[in-house]
A and B are shown apart, each in its own frame.
Chain A
């Protein structure tokens, strides 16, 4: 170790350059310090924590990591100014009919005429019914029970994100009622229950597009 007291790093760049070799890190390597950092500095290693050389190097690595993420986020912002037509390219390549799910029968007097609504279409219906209820958004929609057999008891479960403010119990009930109504109008499912699980509360009215 040098006899002089350590000065500000900016005025002693040579010192830092030498500070990355094992003899400056009390026998540790930069790789080990990197791994130690990755492990969240657990379990605590006194050999590293009590070594001034290691602490200097660790500080540099921590600063570097924070700066790396900041760099990426700044670049991501700049990327938004680039052509975003790739998004529509992807939309054009995915199929709207993927995950149609099960076929849900609809009655017709003629046995040779078979009518169905897809489960995917019904999920879309449920989302549309729940969305917008005092600013709510439906997430996942699940239809439990055998929807392919007429009159089978079906339970609908949805998750939702709701705005902060309205009474959650009242809101859940409102969402439930709208879903029940939509399913009664557009399907012949025997819905015995609709469960609304509120999973998230979001800030109301932040939508700039006037929802």
Chain B
């Protein structure tokens, strides 16, 4: 966190209002405050931190241009998270144009020994490890719905699949996570 920026403790509404008026220091304080959450959220959807970094930078550049159109400055965090979800879905859709759609359902290959798996679970946290182990489609739908709060219809439209597919992926993800979490306990 950049020391000496007196705006670091200002409430979101003030920062967003100032940034909307052109105050770059206020915008920087917003990036400091929300950037990490946005990055880990994007990484969960996309399955990679490198792409997540790109998405978050793009979102902030877009946000800078559109901040003056945000009706409620205090809602800036959910607005930013919403943009991260949308951009991440766009990326996934562009990927799918190039990649075989069957991979969406394929289980994640595990090359790890049982000991290594335990180690990963302890490091990442059990839930994070389970989520990371989901097939791509289940993981994406679950993260977008559970953490992003995005509607089935929007997810389906963005990923260009039927709503029933999204529901199915989500139900499977939830079932799998609950089962694995309980088993881990």
Contacts and interface: CB of A to CB of B under 8 A. Distances in A.
Give yes or no for direct A-B contact (beta carbon below 8 Å). Answer: yes
A157 to B, nearest CB: 12
Given A94-B64, A211-B6, A139 B22 contact: no
B63 to A, nearest CB: 9
Closest 3 CB pairs of A and B: A139-B17, A79-B36, A140-B17
A64 B181 contact: yes
A98 interface: yes
Contacts, number: 155
B125 interface: yes
From B36, B56, B131, B170, residue with most partner A Cβ within 10 Å: B36
Contacts of B146: 65, 68
Interface string B9-52: 11101100110111110011001100111011100100000000
Contacts of B57: 86, 89-90, 93
A16 B37 contact: no
B39 A30 contact: no
Contact of B37 (A34, A65, A76, A127): A76
Interface of A: 9-10, 13, 16-17, 20, 29-31, 34, 57, 60-61, 64-65, 67-69, 71-77, 79-80, 84, 86-87, 89-91, 93-94, 96, 98-100, 120, 123-124, 127, 131-132, 137-141, 159-161, 199-200, 202, 206-209, 211
B167 to A, nearest CB: 5
B127 interface: yes
Contact of B14 (A31, A60, A91, A139): A139
Given A10-B185, A202-B9, A209-B4, A71 B125 contact: yes
Given A30-B174, A209-B5, A137 B10 contact: yes
